Amino acid sequence: MQASSNKDPRELIDEVLRLRHWPQASAMLAELWRQQPVMGNAAYIISRYERMSSELSMTPYRLALLRSFTVEPLVLLLRAAALASGINLSVQVGDFNAYAQEILNPYSNLYKFEPDAVILAIQARDLLPDLWYRFADLSREEVEGAIERTRKYFSEWVETFRYHSKAHLIIHGLEMPLRASAGILDAHCDLSQTEAFRRVNEDVRALARKHQGVYILDYDALIALHGRLRWHDEAKWLTVRLPIAADCLIHLINEWLRFLHPVTGKVCKALVTDLDNTLWGGIVGEDGMSGIQIGPEHPGAAYQSLQRVMLDLYQRGIILAVCSKNNPSDAMEALENHPGMLLRPHHFAALRVNWNDKAQNLREIASELNIGIDALAFVDDSPVEREWVRSQLPVTVIDLPQDPMGYAEALRDSPFFERLTLSDEDRERGRYYAEDRQRAELRDGTASLEDFYRSLQMEIEIASVTPQTLTRVAQLTQKTNQFNLTTRRYTEQQIAEMTASTDWRIYSLRARDRFGDNGLVGVAIARFAGDFCEIDSFLMSCRVIGRTVETAFLSHVAAGALHRGARYLRGWYLPTKKNDLVKDFYESHGFKLIGEPEKGSLWELDLSNGWIGAPEWINCRIEEAITQ
């Protein structure tokens, strides 16, 4: 999926299909839809799924659409969207404005189809044309009469439907007119036009509450969310009876999916969240509890909004868990004591705060919570972590936008936490576990860690300090705590002096990958004395930890030392409260322990017979001056 990104994704998918790798092809089709949910892709995705539907364990589901407007183009999009969510949807569309006959006639095509769910999509103008088009002509009695008649109709339809079918029934609420016929006076009328439609909606809501498996889709709120003027396409309405603009069709599809997810059991039971820069701004291990951003004011407010959404989910019965690369003591201090936090440790059913691979942590969380991996949703600000988890596990990964102000909305937008009732979810649970066993079988044999690194297309650039980078280099020595072997703090002045001396060499590291530029993220300072090169400082920002960038960097420091004529490369590990992460760093790169006085441990690598290989998946650019 990640490799050779220049190629047309469809060519890659067709290649995978030729190789009969069905689950992989299915995942790639879902990804294509996630990235570009457009008409052309819908037709392509459906045609490719049809080739392999018998090979995949998809949830079959039958949906009938009763409608008062053209829905055929929507059906194309809906089927593709459902397939991408693992639902093999058969859709039957009722005749134009024939919904009442379909519901009332026990021998209608509706009941012959034996649907699992029915969507009743009637527009306000079709159901109540008098109220919509000529409200100004009507007396109050006539309006009241229309509302009452409509209430009776709906009541009769729902009761008859329930008598003949056990299917879920999803009823579109009525939308308000773009502008009321009385203009601004509408708000002052005794029984206004908008009030009339609202009363019908209230009646239908009351009806839904009275019956099992009857739900309301708030169509007016959906239109308002995306903008009434943008939503409506008058030309298409008048010519082909499709009232919705091309670019809004997908929003109705996604709203339908919010209902289809819970009725088909495609929901998440638990949400696993990252901490740094997700639940709060900043890195608690670096910035300390007082330095992180979380609270009612900007910039902490965006993170508090996200926590509010999680708290809403928690109240809805979604399990919350934490998966974070952090020192447990730092993370827990913030979770327990930071005054701006809305979420506290007691909200989380499982916590994995360590430096391990997040995919492994998620597996452990699932087994600890005793739920399937695919019942987990995962949210993290890092696109790299998201991609890694997505490539490894059938976890629902929730993408966050770059700007934290959009985090809360991104989470609220996910259909995976929708619930129609709680007992509904309980009913689906048994089937869920059975399907999970099959998924576990598919999971084995997916991409290795190395493939993942390759897919990141990492590039690093190693250079000596320049006047432009001096400030950043000094700043990194001053504030980096976790990936820092010696935690020696230097001022700009000190860095400048070392740069001027021939005994010292300072390397700066920039890193980028296909998700973007991480900027200047690493510093190494080496001191030369005869046969020896001592690594005075070696540090990296947390942003790039765990992607083997450190090995590439160390490899070039070693190569530089050898070039300068050093035979032994030495380095200290000086433990602090924060840098436990790197205590095995030198050992894991082939260094030997040569001394362990109280203050730390001293490690050495004999460059005449030791060598640190640079990972071949990282493309290194070395500034020429540095190899002289």
Partner 1 sequence: MTKSVLVSVRRIAADLFDVPLEHVLPHSSPATIENWDSLRHLNLVLGLEGEFGVQFSPEEIAKMQTVENIAWLIQNRLARAE
| Interface residues toward partner 1, by CB under 8 A | 38-41, 43-44, 47, 70, 72-73, 76, 233, 235, 238-240, 242, 245-247, 249
Q: Which is nearer to partner 1, 93 or 622 (CB)?
A: 93
Collapsing DSSP to helix, strand or coil, 516 comes out as: strand
| Torsion (CA) 463, 465, 471, 477 in degrees, nearest 10 | 80
Q: Which is nearer to partner 1, 47 or 494 (CB)?
A: 47
Q: How far is the CB of 448 from partner 1 (least distance, A)?
A: 34
d(Cα 366, Cα 387) in Å, to the nearest integer?
Answer: 19
d(Cα 601, Cα 486) in Å, to the nearest integer?
Answer: 10
∠ at Cα 522 (618, 582), nearest 5°? 90
Q: How far is the CB of 243 from partner 1 (least distance, A)?
A: 13
Distances, alpha carbon 424 to alpha carbons 120, 262, 375, 434, in Å: 21, 8, 15, 17
Q: Which is nearer to partner 1, 240 or 422 (CB)?
A: 240
Q: How far is the CB of 76 from partner 1 (least distance, A)?
A: 6
Question: Residue 602 phi/psi, 5° resolution?
Answer: -110, 130
Residue type, 137: D
Residue 506 in tokens: 């300072």
For the sheet with 396-398, list strands across it: 348-354, 319-325, 270-273, 376-379, 396-398
Q: How far is the CB of 40 from partner 1 (least distance, A)?
A: 4
Q: How far is the CB of 252 from partner 1 (least distance, A)?
A: 13
Task: List, in sequence order, the alpha helices (H) in 215-327.
Answer: 219-226, 228-231, 234-240, 249-264, 284-287, 300-315
d(Cα 243, Cα 123) in Å, to the nearest integer?
Answer: 9
Q: How far is the CB of 249 from partner 1 (least distance, A)?
A: 7
Sign of CA dihedral 391, 395, 398, 402: negative
Q: Which residues contact 508 (CB under 8 A, 6 or more apart)?
A: 462, 463, 464, 465, 469, 472, 473, 520, 522, 523
Q: How far is the CB of 44 from partner 1 (least distance, A)?
A: 5
Place of tokens 């006047």: 467
Q: Which is nearer to partner 1, 76 or 495 (CB)?
A: 76
Q: Which is nearer to partner 1, 98 or 100 (CB)?
A: 98
d(Cα 586, Cα 571) in Å, to the nearest integer?
Answer: 8
Residue type, 415: P
Q: How far is the CB of 10 from partner 1 (least distance, A)?
A: 10
Q: How far is the CB of 222 from partner 1 (least distance, A)?
A: 18
Identify the H or E element spanning 540. strand 532-540
Q: Which is nearer to partner 1, 70 or 464 (CB)?
A: 70
Q: How far is the CB of 467 from partner 1 (least distance, A)?
A: 44
Other beta carbons within 10 angstroms of residue 423's beta carbon come to 8
Q: How far is the CB of 250 from partner 1 (least distance, A)?
A: 8
Which of the 8 DSSP states describes residue 624?
Answer: G
Distances, alpha carbon 98 to alpha carbons 121, 197, 460, 517, in Å: 11, 22, 64, 57
Question: Residue 248 phi/psi, 5° resolution?
Answer: -105, -10
d(Cα 442, Cα 458) in Å, to the nearest integer?
Answer: 28
Q: Which is nearer to partner 1, 75 or 289 (CB)?
A: 75
Q: Which is nearer to partner 1, 76 or 171 (CB)?
A: 76
Q: How far is the CB of 18 from partner 1 (least distance, A)?
A: 16
d(Cα 621, Cα 326) in Å, to the nearest integer?
Answer: 30
Distances, alpha carbon 139 to alpha carbons 133, 142, 146, 192, 309, in Å: 14, 5, 11, 11, 45
d(Cα 533, Cα 577) in Å, to the nearest integer?
Answer: 27
Q: How far is the CB of 246 from partner 1 (least distance, A)?
A: 4
Task: List, in sequence order, the alpha helices (H) in 444-548.
Answer: 449-456, 470-479, 492-500
d(Cα 28, Cα 25) in Å, to the nearest integer?
Answer: 5
Contact assessment for residue 334 and residue 289, using Cβ atoms and an 8 Å cutoff? yes
Q: How far is the CB of 503 from partner 1 (least distance, A)?
A: 59
